Amino acid sequence: MAHTDGVADGTEDSGRASLLYDPKARGLFFQAVLIIVVAYLVYSGISNAAGNLARAGIASGFGFFEERAGFEIGQTLIHYTNDSTYFRAFLVGLLNTLMVSALGILFATIIGFVVGLARLSRNYLIRKLATVYVETLRNIPLLLQLLFWYKAVLAVLPNPRETGLEQGTTVLWTLNNRGLYIPRLIPEAGASAILIAVVIAIALWVVIGMWASKRQMKTGQQFPTFLTGLGIFIVLPVLTFFLTGMPFDVEFSALQGFNMSGGTVIRPEFIALLLGLSLYTASFIAEIVRAGILAVAKGQTEAAYALGLSPNHTSRLVIIPQAMRVIIPPLTSQYLNLTKNSSLAVAIGYPDLVAVFGGTVLNQTGQAVEVITITMLVYLTISLLTSAFMNWFNARVALVER
Amino acid sequence: MNYSFLSAVAGVAVAAGLGATAASAATLDDVKAKGFVQCGVSTGLAGFSAPDDAGDWKGIDVDLCRGVAAAIFEDASAVKYSPLSAKERFTALQSGEIDVLSRNTTWTMSRDTELGLNFAGVNYYDGQGFMVRKSLGVNSALQLSGASVCVQTGTTTELNLTDYFKANNMTYNPVVFEKLEEVNAAYDSNRCDVYTTDQSGLYAIRLGLSAPDEHVVLPEVISKEPLGPVVRQGDDQWFNIVKWVHFAMINAEELGVTSENVDEMMDSENPNIQRLLGKEGTFGEAVGLKNDWAYQVIKNVGNYGEVFEANVGESTPLGIARGLNALWTNGGLQYAPPIR
């Protein structure tokens, strides 16, 4: 005690004589030094790389984006031909990555929640099955699982010419080793009315929900918001569909020559990748969900029962909101993992960003530094955006302490 | 967060700095110092570069690397191999990871001029073709509209395929893989109707399918694919060594010098042979080698004809005829400038 007093006295005596001993000034100084060092490292790294590329006679720059790609891509969500630019090819790859990631996150979440709850089931069989699911899938490397699904999906499916279809005869759907063929809806004039109807239905759903919760606050009366909303959501667009005179043309697929033509095709590479990513990530999500629910103290359930809440209400209003606080942060990293793992698509020939842009485009242009940098930045951006969204969601569901 | 970002930036900067040292310096000195030639090869293409039962690499692309090693070290086995996918190959060479890329690589203008690389000759004249199942009943590539086509990413094949289908007003669906084995497996499992790559490759790949007899290579050749070894730009001495090892093998065949008779040929009165084998002149010294460099290549590896016959010729399972790869004196394209 006496010692610290002495030090305090000393600083008091010297006053602000020396900037050298001012912790704030020292802090600022070291920050500045660090920034200068980092800036120099970045500058020398970039200029060194650029200098070396120039000396080795390797073309550099981003001009290649405007050039004609000259290759085809197996699955495109936007219009793309071999006459499109490399930038268009980049977009195609990016959208393919985003699609498989978004659907993978959706399915992984659903399966993960179901399996996580099943692990807590009182039913012995369900509980054990869920345990086997989790322990098997999360302990086998994802790449092997993808290869397994790809071979498994492919091996069991027949060739389109062996499925007994007649040449040129249209079918409602068919599954063969070229993919799952389903009819394609081609919108005609008036189809946008249906889209508007869907938007109106969702808006109505929200308005009813707000009205119902207000009323419940005031009078305590409950209103079946979900069923009403769902009813509007289904009835309104269907009604519009018939009122506008069914403004859709349906294109069926048919066997033409070697392959099916027409319709929409979901390719086996996509199916295998989606299956692999969803099932693998779901096994981790299941554990996160289980942990989250177990983290809610048993007293909470007992208290809810004591207040006379039904088991349904107990889990919906008491357990899950509290479990979500524990679930969401690790869930975010699973979503990020799934998105990044989607780059394993390259092993099974799904044209994702890494396969199309980091593979074909890199090779045809030879501009490895640019292409890899862009690919990394894209994954970084996707991950940061996912993370930002989940943080926002987490802040919303976080326990409000009063 | 901040710290990990900073360290990442520092990491990139350091990596970019390291790249500088690797690519410079004379390749021959580096190779002599480490005692072997680092040779980029394919991940396994029978006849060109593939490991045999004993794990030794064999093929005409491999023999070119062995020839370079023999010219430098008098020992054809002083080679280490880096199996590379089509996608990885140029980066591996640019970064200095390998000394020479001898991996059935097509010589094109953009590769020659934009990648900082030099093609040191053509050791196999090839052309792109198509392979299909016999059961499809197809006998011309012009009947392939609508087919699913298996192709390897990062190849000229991928672009030629597009051009060919476009020029003939046909459509196709590409199924693209990075590794040759993945393309093979996909085609073998009937994921695709058509397999396309260089014709020599198709013959080699057909041997590895579960039922080779059920597949047929269509007659159309849709492109020019001159395959040859590649070196980095900016090291003319190394470029000359690789180029002249290849030429020495062709000249040896033309002059009738083989690995069997090369010792007797040392006594030949033919001045062309004397210059080839280093009895006359100092051609080896001019490229930083000993004067018997070509003797070592022929003695340890063989002349071009021997290499061709041993790896892809009529007596091998591939059974490829010399065709375009015959010497110019026999109506082919293999022609080497004279050693004088």
On chain B, the residues whose CB falls within 8 A of the CB of A46 are 16
pLDDT higher than 50, residue A77: yes
Q: Positive or negative, the Cα torsion across A136, A142, A147, A153?
A: positive
State whether residue B13 sits within 8 Å of chain A by CB: yes
Give pLDDT, residue A253: 83
Please answer yes or no on whether A82 and B166 come within 8 Å at the CB atom. Answer: yes
DSSP A1-22: -HHHHHHHHHHHHHTT--GGG-
Q: Give the Cβ contact number of residue A27 at 10 Å.
A: 10
Residue B45 pairs in a beta bridge with: B49
Contact B168, B229 (CB under 8 A): no
In whole angstroms, what is the distance from residue A252 CA to residue A185 CA?
A: 9
Q: Check CB contact under 8 Å for A48 and B19.
A: yes
Q: What is the pLDDT of residue A7?
A: 46
Contacts with A, B 109-138, CB within 8 Å: 110-111, 114-116, 136
- Using the predicted structure, report yes or no on whether residue B252 has a pLDDT greater than 70: yes
pLDDT in tens, B93-129: 999 999 999 999 999 998 999 888 999 999 999 999 9
pLDDT of residue B3: 42
Which residue is closest to A82 within chain B, CA to CA?
B162
User: Alpha helices of A119-222 — where are they, by DSSP H?
Assistant: 124-137, 142-156, 191-219
In terms of CA atoms, which chain B residue is nearest residue A158?
B190
Residue A223 is predicted with a pLDDT of 83
CB of B87 within 8 Å of any CB in chain A? yes
Integer distance in angstroms from the first to the last C-alpha of chain A? 39
Q: Report which residue type is found at A25.
A: A
pLDDT at A227: 87
B163 touches chain A (CB under 8 A): yes
Which of B105, B173, B183, B232 to substitute to test the interface with A, most A CBs within 10 Å? B173
Identify the residue with better confidence: A114 or A49.
A114
pLDDT at A156: 80
- B18-23: list long-range contacts, CB under 8 Å, 24+ apart: B19/A48, B19/A49, B19/A52, B19/B95, B20/A48, B20/A51, B20/A52, B22/B95, B22/B96, B22/B97, B23/A52, B23/A55, B23/A56, B23/B94, B23/B95, B23/B96, B23/B232
| pLDDT at A160 > cutoff 70 | yes
pLDDT value of position B284: 92
Q: Could B193 and A359 be called an inter-chain contact, meaning their C-beta atoms sit closer than 8 Å?
A: no
Give all domains of chain B, ordered by start, each with its CATH number. 22-125+226-330 (3.40.190.10), 128-223 (3.40.190.10)
Q: Whose structure tokens read 């990016």?
A: A94
More confident residue, A375 or A192: A375
pLDDT of residue A61: 81
Q: Which residue of A has its CA nearest to B118?
A: A57
Percent of chain A surpassing pLDDT 70: 95
- Calculate mean pLDDT across residues A279-292: 96
pLDDT of residue A48: 86
Average pLDDT value for chain B:
89
B217-229: pLDDT as tens digits: 998 899 999 999 9
- Is the Cβ pair A56, B23 closer than 8 Å? yes
Model confidence at B82, pLDDT cuts 50, 70, 90, reads very high
Chains A and B form CB pairs within 8 A to the count of 142
Distance, CA of A160 to CA of B263 (rounded, Å): 62
Closest residue of B to A260, CA-based? B146
CB within 8 Å of A18: residues ≥ 6 apart: none
Model confidence at A11, pLDDT cuts 50, 70, 90, reads very low
DSSP structural state of residue B87: T
Per-residue pLDDT at A128 exceeds 70: yes
Could you tell me if B140 lies within 8 Å of chain A, comparing CB atoms?
no
ipTM comes to: 0.73
CA distance B268 to B191: 58
CA–CA separation, A53 and B181 (whole Å): 32
CATH 2.40.50.100 holds for A86-154+269-397? no
| Interface contact A366-B110, CB threshold 8 A | yes
pLDDT tens, position by position, A341-397:
999 998 898 999 999 999 889 888 888 888 999 999 999 999 999 999 999 988 887
What is the average pLDDT across A301-325? 90
Q: Say which of B6, B189, B193 has its CB closest to residue A38.
A: B6
Give per-residue pLDDT as tens, B268-325.
999 999 999 999 999 999 999 999 999 999 999 999 999 999 999 989 988 888 989 9
Domain residues of chain A, as ranges? Answer: 86-154+269-397, 188-246
Q: Comparing B19 with B224, which gets the higher pLDDT?
A: B224
**pLDDT 10s digits, B119-176:** 999 999 999 999 999 988 888 999 998 899 999 987 888 889 999 999 999 989 899 9
The string of pLDDT tens digits covering residues A174-191 is: 888 888 888 888 877 777
Whole-number pLDDT of residue A312:
86
Residue A15 pLDDT exceeds 70: no
Q: Judge: A57–B233 Cβ closer than 8 Å, yes or no.
A: yes
Would you say residue A6 has pLDDT above 80? no
- The string of pLDDT tens digits covering residues A136-152 is 999 999 999 999 999 88
Contact A177 B174 (CB under 8 A): no
DSSP SS3 for A279: helix
The mean per-residue pLDDT over the stretch A146-167 comes to 83
- What's residue B24's pLDDT? 46
* Mean per-residue pLDDT over chain A, rounded: 87
Q: Does B153 contact chain A (CB < 8 Å)?
A: yes
For residue A132, pLDDT beyond 60: yes
